[in-house]
Structure 1
Amino acid sequence: MRKGSIICITGGVGGTGKTLLAMALIDYLRSEGHDVLAMDGDLNCPQIYRSYSTTCETTLADFSSIAAWNRLEKLALSAPNRTIVVDLPVAASRAVGKSLHIPEDVLANMTVFWTIDRRYAAVETLEPFHKAAPCATHVVASGLACNGVVPGTLLASTVLGSLEAHGGAFLAMPQLTDVVADRLFNEWTSIEHKVAAGSAGENLILRQWRETFASLIQQEIGAQA
């Protein structure tokens, strides 16, 4: 992914691994030398804002309001080499799909990661957001909250078959054990910090997961975003 990009992580429903994907992307981008600004749109439970406040620049924003999108545009224009990662709540993504107008300068440089899981695998939930953000690169990400691989027949019929028409890509995310994921969230810590300060077992699990994630991003997304 290019330095200076806007990376938006969202989805049609909650509980699909959106925040963990945002954390993984921040971790990966920083390891690649990106100057990252993390914008957390979840004002009720600002996991990204609290977990990464000592790792990179973080801020809160209510993306159900056009004011936050205008602020994002100004931030992007003021520092064109800085990569901005936006953790976008479901309510905000629905507002975009209904009527909220995203500034063109933001859309032109945006990659949208749309999370799904076993229960909510239909790409149709992406349709309103995609229509509102047609210039953005769209990536459907699956696997973080599935407790296993999403059935191939389900993906083939509802996601993979129609994703190409949406002009995007598909990313099958590696699994992270529930114990390690829960500790990341409960301790309000970044992946980078947990790798450095966790137990030997957690350290090994996270290092392997990071390497797998980085490889997938480079193979599946690198050429498109």
Structure 2
Amino acid sequence: MNSPIIYVGGSKGGVGKSKLAFALIDYLGAQGKKVLLLETDSSNPDVYKAHHPHEGADLVCKLTDLDISDGWIELVNFADAHPGHILVINSAARSNTGIEKYGATLKETLAELSRELFTFWIINRQRDSIELLRGFLNAFPDAVIHVCRNLYFGEAGKFELYNDSKSRQLIEKKGMTLDFPDLADRVADKIYSGRMPIKKALADLPIGDRAELKRWRGKCAEMFQAALKGK
């Protein structure tokens, strides 16, 4: 089995997909894993812009559009060309449309690629987060999906619509419900505005900001470790 494909989804803007992708790439790099970043958010490619200048043998970055069939073909070819790299897909806010039309291109090639598909689906407390999750479940019924409650929007108990939903019951048959920790706005803003990977931010930010980033990074590592279990 080759390295997995990890899809960071949520299918709407502002739920925290890019922040989760930053954390995931940092976690995998700290574990000594090789990473392929596939950035599909063409309007706000923050993750790509932060990591592209730091490309090397262990980090490869690419932009593509998953609203069109060619984007999914490129995704599969990209994965096939780098079997030893974990492919991290940072999805765009509108990506469910492309998933419904063209997601079969990936689904039908996973066996030949010899890769497993894992998903981190980040949600806020609104109903559309859950409705869009159902759309993804319909497209990839066999994928392992971990739902991440973004604690920026409140503590875990406040996510009542998800906590009491049938979607949660379905998710937890294979995946997990996780809590994505909040990061102080001032630190997150500096990472985005400076277009810095977390590793660089830990070297460049002021000492107080670094302390907050280290705290958050440790919490993220605990979350990813529980979900990926050595993948």
For normalisation by structure 2, the TM-score amounts to 0.86
**Number of the residue aligned with 2:199:** 192
Structure 1 segment 150-161 matched on structure 2, within 5 A: 151=158, 153-158=160-165, 160-161=168-169
2:109 pairs with 97, 105, 112, which one?
105
Given that 1:174 and 1:213 are in contact with CA atoms closer than 8 Å, whether structure 2 keeps it comes out as: yes
Alpha-carbon deviation of 1:54?
A: 2.5
Is it true that 1:222 corresponds to 2:221 in the alignment?
A: no
SS in 2 for 1:90: coil
Structure 1 segment 1-225 matched on structure 2, within 5 A: 4-55=3-54, 56-98=59-101, 100-103=103-106, 104-106=108-110, 109-120=116-127, 123-149=130-156, 151=158, 153-158=160-165, 160-164=168-172, 167-219=174-226, 221-223=227-229
Q: Could you tell me how far apart the structure 1 residues matched to 2:142 and 2:40 are?
A: 22
Q: Could you tell me how far apart the structure 2 residues matched to 1:204 and 1:98 are?
A: 44
AA of the residue aligned to 1:134: P
Q: Could you tell me how far apart the structure 2 residues matched to 1:217 and 1:121 are?
A: 25
Where structure 1 has 5 or more consecutive residues not aligned to the other structure, the ranges are: none
Where structure 2 has 5 or more consecutive residues not aligned to the other structure, the ranges are: none
Q: Could you tell me how far apart the structure 2 residues matched to 1:147 and 1:197 are?
A: 29
| Alpha carbons of structure 1 residues 67 and 84: separation in structure 2 relative to 1, 3 Å | same
Given that 1:66 and 1:101 are in contact with CA atoms closer than 8 Å, whether structure 2 keeps it comes out as: no
| Alpha carbons of structure 1 residues 185 and 64: separation in structure 2 relative to 1, 3 Å | same
Q: Could you tell me how far apart the structure 2 residues matched to 1:223 and 1:52 are?
A: 25
Aligned length: 222
Q: Could you tell me how far apart the structure 1 residues matched to 2:6 and 2:25 are?
A: 9
Identity fraction in percent: 27
CA deviation digits over 1:97-153, x for unaligned, max 9? 355423323485211111101224753321221121123211111115415545154
Alpha-carbon deviation of 1:195?
A: 0.5
SS in 2 for 1:42: coil
SS in 1 for 2:118: strand
Given that 1:40 and 1:61 are in contact with CA atoms closer than 8 Å, whether structure 2 keeps it comes out as: yes
